[in-house]
Amino acid sequence: MTHASPHTQTIRSDGPSLFRLAGLPYFLIAFIARLPFAMMVVGVLTVVVSARGSLSLGGLTSAAVGIGTACFGPLLGAAADRWGQRGVLLALALANGAMLVVFTVVVYGAAADGFVLLAAAGIGATAPQVAPLSRSRLVTIIRERMPDARQSRTLSGTMAYESAADETVFVFGPFLVGVLASALAPWAPLVGAAALTVLFVGAFALHPSGRHVSQERGADGKAPSAVSELFRPQLLIVVLGILGVGIFFGAMLTALTSFMADRGAPEQAGLLYGVMGVGSAILALGVAWLPPAFTLRARWLVFSGILLVGSLLLLFVDSPVTMMVALGIMGIGIGPTLVTQYSFGAARSPLGRSATVMTMLGSGVVVGQSLGAATTGEIAESIGTAPALLIPVIAAGVVFAAGLVNWFLSRTTPRAARVAA
């Protein structure tokens, strides 16, 4: 389970930066191309509540999108590893754009609720995995076209940027949905997402970097590593840890909404949540400047520990001000933890399975968000806000416990990338 190959073992001279290798257009296109996915879940919820008048159906429909993504995301990543990203992404751009339009037609029509849920699952199943595939594409460029001495720091900085980009998009996406729904119509966000998907996911697929085939694969394009390599404990613990992060995201936003609803201002939940999101994105970018002596396994424990401490404050919050303090502390921990987990995923990806691993991690976040939101929403509605606030605490505990297990597993990881340990 090593990425080292004759191509990557040789010592290479200093070369251009990743920014120059990929180019400015790549980063702009990749950023906008992931925006439709951030709009989908909230957009689906908005249009279902408006067209069908059912908040319950809206929640189920949003969950169906997440389930579709979770079930098919890793398969799409495996397809990209097997046949290359370009063809897979082009097909998904067209399919997902079509599914968004089909869903809009179905939800406004007379079709039964079951067909609405099926169409929503189709949106998730065809969702282009831009963020994971961007990570995979950049990791391949780093490993094959950059000097060995610069790879570790560049990889850390890349994971930091990608995580910050994800968080920025997931803050801006719902905001854009609100603007389009208010200014035009509830269906406008989904139609807009369809247009962005076709245009920018298509552009992402056609970017020259999409033709790049990893030297770690054979001439026939087959990944040399067996599928069983994806189920090693060192990789599964990362998936578990990132699942915990996803649960935390879904549970925290839902519990926060309930918290503010008790105070008569549920619409302000997003503003408070932004306190954590902004801090998380800033700290995620800062990971790139942490010293190499502060190893990845230590970062996971330290930052997930901060997340856990911040979440424990949820048991004592009694006002929006104290909630902001707790969210601010949790923001310090969550961003760097997520960056660290993606860095471990990149370091432990089996030969030729980088896209598969990244989509596994991305799907873990989506599944966790769906589980966290659904569970917390049910508890908040049936029991109350105080019990609902326990779910983010439990999720943070899972992330910390996974980091603790990873501490010991890292000591037995036989990779050249052991510096991560």
Are 100 and 194 in contact by the 8 Å Cβ rule? The answer is yes
Position 7 pLDDT exceeds 50: no
Burial of residue 14 (number of CB atoms within 10 Å: 0-12, 13-18, 19+):
exposed
Position 96 pLDDT exceeds 90: yes
**Two tokens, residue 366:** 């989506």
Mean pLDDT value across residues 39-48: 78
Domain range summary for the chain, segments of one domain joined by +: 22-219, 225-421
For residue 413, what pLDDT is reported? Answer: 47
Are 300 and 403 in contact by the 8 Å Cβ rule? The answer is yes
* Average pLDDT score, the chain: 81
Position 300 pLDDT exceeds 50: yes
Report the candidate in 201, 222, 203 with the shortest Cα–Cα distance to residue 213: 222
Q: What is the dihedral of CA 188, 278, 290, 404, to 10 degrees?
A: -90
Q: How does 88-121 read in b/e, with b if 16+ C-beta sit within 10 Å?
A: bbbebbebbbbbbbebbebbeeeeeeeebbebbb
Are 62 and 363 in contact by the 8 Å Cβ rule? The answer is no
For residue 67, what pLDDT is reported? Answer: 85
**Two tokens, residue 389:** 């606030």
Q: Kindly give the interhelix angle for 188-196 and 85-108, rounded to the nearest 10 degrees.
A: 160
| One-letter identity of residue 110 | A
d(CA 22, CA 139): 11
Which CATH number is associated with domain 22-219?
1.20.1250.20
d(CA 314, CA 324): 10
HEC letters along 267-295: HHHHHHHHHHHHHHHHHHHHHHHCCCCCC
**Any idea what the Cα angle at residue 386 is, between residues 382 and 390, rounded to 5°?**
100
More confidently predicted of 386 and 367: 386
More confidently predicted of 159 and 67: 67
**CATH 1.10.10.10 correct for 225-421:** no
DSSP 8-state symbol, 111: -
Burial of residue 152 (number of CB atoms within 10 Å: 0-12, 13-18, 19+):
middle
More confidently predicted of 175 and 195: 195
More confidently predicted of 153 and 394: 394
CA-to-CA dists, residue 360 to 76, 196, 247, 309, 405, angstroms: 10, 24, 15, 28, 19
HSE toward the beta carbon, residue 171, CA cutoff 13 A: 19
For residue 15, what pLDDT is reported? Answer: 65
Q: What totals of helices (H) and strands (E) does the chain contain, helices first?
A: 18, 0
Q: Count the Cβ atoms, other than its own, within 10 Å of residue 44.
A: 29
State pLDDT tens for residues 229-282: 777 899 999 999 999 998 998 888 878 878 888 888 776 776 787 788 777 777
* 3-class DSSP state of 41: helix
Q: Indicate whether this model's pTM tops 0.95.
A: no
